[in-house]
Every structure is written in C-alpha cells, then in structure tokens.
Amino acid sequence: MEAKDILEKKGHTLIEFEFEEFGAICRFGCRLCSANGMAVMREALRNGELLDAQMRGLYLMSKVPRWISKKLLAPLIDRQVPYLANILESVITLDEATYFDDKLRELFLIFCDKWHAAHLDAILSPPFPVPATNEDFAVQNPQFIPYTGFANAFNLPAGIIPITRGTKEDEEKLKDYPRRNISEYKIRKAVEGSIGLPLGCSVMSLPYQDETVLRVMRDLQAGSQFR
C-alpha cells in the first residue's frame, strides 16, 4: 500500500490486475526445469561443476528413480509441497518438453494481450512474500519467488526498490497466518524476528520497456521514506 500511495502522489494511475493463468505458468515452468528427469542438471553437476551445499538436496532428489518419484513421492507430498510434487513429476520425453514449452509461450501471449487490454505500463508486485531471510531460504523454497521467476523466465525488465520495514504490528498479524501445509508453516517461521527488516516492491514491464521500469523505480525511491 505504501508503494501505491507514493505513485499516486506522483501522478500515476494504479489499477488491480489479475492473471488467472499465472498458476499454470508456474506449474509448466516447474516441469520444464526438471525436464528429462533432471538428467541434464544431474550430469552437469556431476561432471566438474562445483556442487553448492544449498543445491545438494536438489541434486540428491534428481537421482531418485523416476517411477519412485512420480508414482510414490509426488502423490504423497502433493498437498503439503505442491511445487516439489510438480518437479518430481518431471517430463522425460522431447514431445512432452515441447508441449510444455509451447504452452508457456501460449500463456505468455495471453498475458501480453491482457496487459495491452488493461493499458498497463508496468506491474507492481511483492518480490518475496516475507522480509529478508537467510540465504538458504530462497534456494530451499523456490515456490516463494513466483514473480521473480516469471520475470526471469520471459526475460522481462524488472527491479526491486525497498519501501518500508517490518513492524511489530506486522509480526502480530502473522499469528493468524494459516499453517495448512509445510509451505505455509515455513513462511510463518521465516518471518519470525523480521521487525526492522526491509520490505520491497518489485516493478516489472514487457520486453524492451526498461526505461519505463527505471522511471517507476525512480519515482518510488524519491517518494519512499526508506533509509
């Protein structure tokens, strides 16, 4: 809300924009990231690549036989960790990979059509659903970076500006945050002790609209009290 107020004072008009197909893009993206049963990634890590400690869990998961990961593990964890279930159900054939890639391109064109229909110049979104966390959190929980992943997947110009900081009131509100699955529980744990940590706003636009993103970021920075 702080970012919205800042931009409105600068003369910008803000509207709510919803893209119903966003969840489908995330699901297809997960499948493509684990194409061929993660064999490409597994070989790259095994043949001379330095295996970062934060990537070790993903590497070990890539070594699980596909019939076990798809038939046993994926259904078992689908409700608790949906994104991981999508990875475990990884595609293995060229036809499947081509299908998911085509679907992603099709959904992105739908996104662009809706963008133009709404006469947008840029989109504001939370870069992360929690304040600053330790470096392990994002690597172990990629489901928490959907907007950042979306911008990277389609090579969209984007940037983040710190706007405010976490307050005691924010932390109090999190006592009512749902804990229906592992993902929601991890968010709750990650936010503990976040008073004073920065909260940012992500600005994103369509390809080749870098100057638009920079202008919005400049206006946000000029109007922000963040120091």
DSSP 8-state symbol, 181? S
Q: pLDDT tens for residues 155-171?
A: 999 999 999 888 888 87
Which helix H or strand E contains 204, and what residues bound it? Answer: strand 198-204
Three-class SS of residue 161? Answer: strand
pLDDT for the residue 106: 93
CA nearest to 146, candidates 26, 28, 31:
26
Residues 6 or more apart whose CB falls under 8 angstroms from that of 203 comprise: 122, 123, 124, 158, 159, 160, 161, 213, 216, 217, 220
Structure tokens at 26: 């995330």
Q: Is the pLDDT of residue 63 over 90?
A: no
Q: Is the pLDDT of residue 64 over 60?
A: yes
- CB distance 45 to 51 below 8 Å: yes
pLDDT for the residue 87: 67
- The neighbouring-strand residues paired with 164 are 199
Angle, helix 210-223 to helix 2-9, in steps of 10 degrees: 100
Q: What percent of the chain clears pLDDT 90, i.e. is strictly above it? A: 28
Structure tokens at 116: 């133009």
Full-prediction pTM beyond 0.85? no
How sure is the predictor about 152, in pLDDT bands with cuts at 50, 70 and 90? confident
